[in-house]
Structure 1
Amino acid sequence: MGAPRVVCAGHVNWDVTLYVDRLPSADGEAAIVDQHQSGGGSASNTAFVLSTLGLSSVLVGSTGEDKYGSLVREELAEAGVDTTHLTSVPGAVTTVKYLVVDESGQVMVLANDGANEAFDTASVPDDAIERADHLHLTSQRPETAQALAERAVEAGVPVSFDPGRRLDCREYEPVFRLADVVLLNESEAAATKQSAALESRDGITVIKRGSDGATATVDGRAVAHDGFGTEPVDTTGAGDAFAAGFIAGQLDGTSLETAVAVGNACGALATQTAGARVAITWDDIEDLLDRTVPE
């Protein structure tokens, strides 16, 4: 058998990261101490990490026909990500996000809409999902996410969903109901607290708590891992790396406890480098897990 095949669908960006001495308040000013550019976007970041972990990752999304779109594709191809279903939109610009990161690694994000939600389900042939071992959905138009999830459920393909920051203005309840795994950070979990769909759904709900670890809940049982307490350089993309590690752990047949630990290890490793993209190996994960085993 070949490596597990994961289809990741959602945002594909180019990130411009500015490292500052502090995040300024309104009408304030901060000093730029460094800057960095690389690919970004939740689906793209997760596909990148999955590929470096040895899985077969397929990216579904869209970019413009511009230099940033070309740079994104080159970076992904070098990592082994399949971009066959990454749509290039004529006349559109690739979404660029400007990330402002303070000395503690915390992030503020500014973005243009760009082309990253221009793709639709017509760009994804049925066999692309039918041949997958897993479908991972990230922030995108609710109707697109729902249509892809329905196709995966019909094909018997497990679905995970990491909705991102726009929960306050998007109707994702149908996708919550279809997903086998929902991944949220603490702010997103608070935003969905009143969601009947999230409370009543079957499947696993994972709450990511940054350096404090994560908790996975299923069938009334909670599995917690305290994280690794690493000092972050840049937290951009850490949640996407967590998702990649958690998915990879589940596809490897590990326990839920181990999948959460692997997710936390990937998230922690992602915070140790600049930018949203980081190459992670199983040796990296095992080294981190070994260093934190209690005596």
Structure 2
Amino acid sequence: MSGKILVVGDVMTDVIVVPEGPMVKGSDRRATVRSRPGGSGANQAVWLGAMAADVVFAARVGQSDRAMYENYFRGLSVVPVLAGDAEQPSGVLVTIVDTDGERSFLTDRGANLNLSADDLPDSLLDEVSMIMVSGYSFFAPGPRAAVQSLFAAAKDRDIAIAIDPASVGFLAEVGADQFLDWTNGADWLFANADEAALLTGLDDYQAQMVALGAHYGNVVIKRGRDGAALGGQAGLRVELPAPSVTVVDSTGAGDAFAAGFLAALLDGEDEASAMAEGIASGAKAVQTIGGQPG
């Protein structure tokens, strides 16, 4: 497999808060606060650009930010196709990082909620070998309809489709059966351990893989410190451990993993090599603050 990859997903400004200790209700806690570009789709696109992949990123931002974001993505080897929203500002995500590196989120998706079919014309698929779509695009009716229309056009052209569920919280809101129905038939699913458990109701990752394989051609389960596993309805095919690293911030680790995996796959690497690249990218991501390569 080779060629161009189209990423569809959110653009956000990530406000990352790292308190020095537990939050004190009604009082102060010293913290490091940083503002950085983010969004699951944007993170994936930028990581792919850093890996020299041929990547196009389609999204919607506040009109006043459009030129700034276009220049930003071009500077990181990503071809931006951004629609400007005259009513909603660009999205903002507040991330609170616990002492163990785990995160909690407060999300205002802003302009991302208005992504429409007009923002995703069939011409985006020209010369594309794969589409990578963030699950956030399925959690609101307008973006969901736009992405599903693009999927239908991609299937007509025999273009591979990859899905990242993106948010266990939003998955719980819409329900596993709904999400599986909306995304059924995609060629690749990249789910973390919590997402795989919610989507299947199962605890064992190998059983989760078989269950998810009934809906997707290939299933990758990102297991954090335990590495990752790949397979499908017939069971496990590849499993690799993760290196031991110091976790500073896990924001974007799953996005980095997916980008590393897909960049290697599109470059002709086999599944085991692609898995190794994904794990290495995820490990690199957790060692710095923010969801994009520093």
Equivalent residue in structure 2 for 1:135, among 131, 138, 155: 131
Counterpart CA distance in 2 for 1:132 and 1:55 is: 12
Equivalent residue in structure 1 for 2:157, among 155, 159, 174: 155
For the Cα contact (< 8 Å) 2:192–2:221, is it kept in 1? yes
For the Cα contact (< 8 Å) 1:173–1:197, is it kept in 2? no
Unaligned runs of at least 5 residues, structure 1: 280-295
- How many residue pairs get aligned? The number is 274
**SS at structure 1 position matched to 2:110:** coil
Counterpart CA distance in 1 for 2:238 and 2:89 is: 42
Counterpart CA distance in 2 for 1:202 and 1:239 is: 18
**1:39-54 map, 5 Å:** 39-54=37-52
For the Cα contact (< 8 Å) 2:18–2:96, is it kept in 1? yes
Q: In the alignment, which residue of structure 1 is the partner of 2:107?
A: 111
CA distance 1:22–1:46, change in 2 (3 Å):
same
Deviation for aligned residue 1:57 = 1.1
Deviation for aligned residue 1:262 = 0.7
Q: In the alignment, which residue of structure 1 is the partner of 2:204?
A: none
Counterpart CA distance in 1 for 2:110 and 2:91 is: 4
Counterpart CA distance in 2 for 1:133 and 1:71 is: 28
Deviation for aligned residue 1:32 = 3.4
For the Cα contact (< 8 Å) 1:250–1:259, is it kept in 2? yes
TM-score normalised to structure 1 length: 0.86
**SS at structure 2 position matched to 1:115:** helix
**1:190-209 map, 5 Å:** 190-194=197-201, 198-209=212-223
CA distance 1:176–1:198, change in 2 (3 Å):
farther
**SS at structure 2 position matched to 1:274:** coil
Counterpart CA distance in 1 for 2:151 and 2:190 is: 15
Equivalent residue in structure 2 for 1:121, among 114, 117, 124: 117
* Deviation digits for residues 218-271 of structure 1 (CA, Å, limit 9, x no counterpart): 332331111111111111011000010111121122121111111111001111
Deviation for aligned residue 1:276 = 1.0
Q: In the alignment, which residue of structure 2 is the partner of 1:291?
A: none
CA distance 1:237–1:87, change in 2 (3 Å):
same
Unaligned runs of at least 5 residues, structure 2: 139-143, 202-207
Q: In the alignment, which residue of structure 2 is the partner of 1:283?
A: none
* Deviation digits for residues 111-130 of structure 1 (CA, Å, limit 9, x no counterpart): 11311121122222212113
Deviation for aligned residue 1:73 = 3.4
**SS at structure 2 position matched to 1:31:** coil
Deviation for aligned residue 1:100 = 1.0
